Structure 1
């Protein structure tokens, strides 16, 4: 079932019309990375301390279903952004490229469709499933102790599933880099968890691994990044305010993203080697 599920996800990303630019048929994403975490992994409980008590565990989501059920696995994926789109964004210094902005809006709409597709695939196979990001219990908490947060973090789920580690800019560095979209589904189908080969939850980031790099700091046009980390308030104000106002109409989107700190950096499409190799 694990292999069949992975093949379905890969095929959907490759063949579904919504995963391609309408103008030229080019893909928003390349082949996905897929990982699995146990629904009762202690990390999900720890997140309620690290992120906040509002962050729900897989079991808490499933218990809000009618009727309630007991989850076994969290299925996670990373959709690496295509090289042409990343290349177009490397050249930008203030606002994202048109391709990046369209990937943020239309590519994420496809990602939502993928979540629904995975849920339906599992339900049709006789299992229970839900997508936390699309669940009625999901909501944002703009005034949390860690800044803007939500009831489910796709990044933290992906970390639990062995897909990567965190970076100076708060993103996730996977073996295919930091430029991606993430998704997850909770199910009662039992699948063996993916190993987490990292020595530390930040070990793929050169800044945290050896005190070098920090390239993402210079890529941020509004100073939301520093050696101390990521200022979510400044970042969000720019990404959801100034950027759409400046280029949204021209790009024909309402959600633009930014992604400058995810391109033209050593971790754009890989785990950077640096002086001290990552355990991955």
Structure 2
């Protein structure tokens, strides 16, 4: 069943017209990565301590939850290349991928939940479920009641970076999604030695390229200023280019492009990556 689910996600990403730029027909996203986490993985209980009590465990979203199915949607090369050239605002291709591509991601969430339900399994996409919300948490800043990044980490799809994103085997330029189901499936092993291993800054004290790429000054050696980042991404950027690009959500992504982890887990100092 793991293979069937992974194949269905890949098929939908490859065939859906929602995964297409309106003017060129080129895709927003390349072939996805898929991982699986056990709904009773102790990490989900630990997230209530790390993120906050408001963060919901899989069983709080779906009674009888057994598995969290997660995916990574890598941004295409052409879009990444367009964003590498920018230093203040995101490229038009990046903004369309953030706005329209996330609409496609939600369509994928709904499709996979329905696909599982048609086969007799209960399923729900946490980010589309009743009660999902964003909030400001005293300990961690901007947060939500379900973190796609933390679910993907639990499913063995990557580790966290200096800018709080997830560095996967396909890099850091992506969108993430998940669906919870009562179908028991074998979890994907987590092979990294710690939750920040894929980031050169945390692994060996090198790099920090994302700091210089942030036009808002939201990144430093101390980490990610979520409030400053949010004000820029959801305030300054849409005000500057949203109307010109024809989108409400523009994203930014400058710290996810023209950096060593853009498309891979960087080796660093000549060492092989896991």
2:70, 2:200 → 1: CA distance? 24
**Distance between the aligned counterparts of 1:275 and 1:37, measured in 2?**
32
Correspondence 1:1-150 to 2 at 5 A: 1-62=1-62, 69-150=63-144
Give the C-alpha shift of residue 142 in structure 1: 1.8
TM normalised by structure 1 equals 0.96
The counterpart of 1:173, out of the listed 149, 167, 178, is 167
Q: Distance in 2 between matches of 1:130 and 1:269?
A: 30
Runs of 4+ with deviation above 4 angstroms: none
For structure 2, which runs of at least 5 residues remain unmatched after alignment?
none
| Alignment partners' CA distance in 2, 1:9 and 1:132 | 17
In the aligned structure 2, how far is the partner of 1:130 from the partner of 1:211?
40
User: How far 1:3 moved relative to its partner?
Assistant: 1.2
Residue by residue over 1:155-176, the C-alpha shift from the partner in whole angstroms, topping out at 9 and shown as x without a partner, is 0000000000000000000000
In structure 2, the residue matched to 1:239 is: 233
Q: Provide the rounded CA distance (Å) in 2 between the counterparts of 1:21 and 1:117.
A: 20
Q: 1:265 to 1:57 in 2, by over 3 A?
A: same
User: Would the aligned equivalents of 2:52 and 2:137 in 1 still touch at CA under 8 Å?
Assistant: no
* Aligned twin of 1:66: none
Residue ranges of structure 1 left out of the alignment (5+ in a row): 63-68
RMSD, matched Cα: 0.9
Matched, 1:203 2:194: no
How far the C-alpha of 1:277 sits from its partner, in A, is 3.6
User: In 1, distance between residues paired with 2:37 and 2:93?
Assistant: 32
Distance across 2 between alignment mates of 1:222 and 1:240 = 12
How far 1:143 sits from its partner (Å)?
3.7
Deviation at 1:144, TM superposition (A): 3.4
Which position in structure 1 is the counterpart of 2:264?
A: 270
Displacement of 1:44 in angstroms is 0.2
Q: Cα–Cα, structure 1 residues 42 and 262, in superposed 2: closer, same or farther, change >3 Å?
A: same
**Aligned-residue offset at 1:276:** 6.5
For the residue of structure 2 that corresponds to 1:17, the secondary structure is: coil
- Matched with 2:149 is 155
Residue 178 of structure 1 deviates from its aligned partner by 0.1
Residue 17 of structure 1, CA deviation: 0.2
Q: 2:21 & 2:189 partners in 1: Cα distance?
A: 34
Check the 8 A contact 2:267/2:273 in 1, yes or no.
no
Q: How many residues align?
A: 274
Deviation of 1:4 after TM superposition, in Å, equals: 1.2
Paired residues of 1:199 and 1:279 also in contact (CA < 8 A): no
**What is the CA–CA distance in structure 2 between the aligned matches of 1:239 and 1:257, rounded to whole Å?**
6
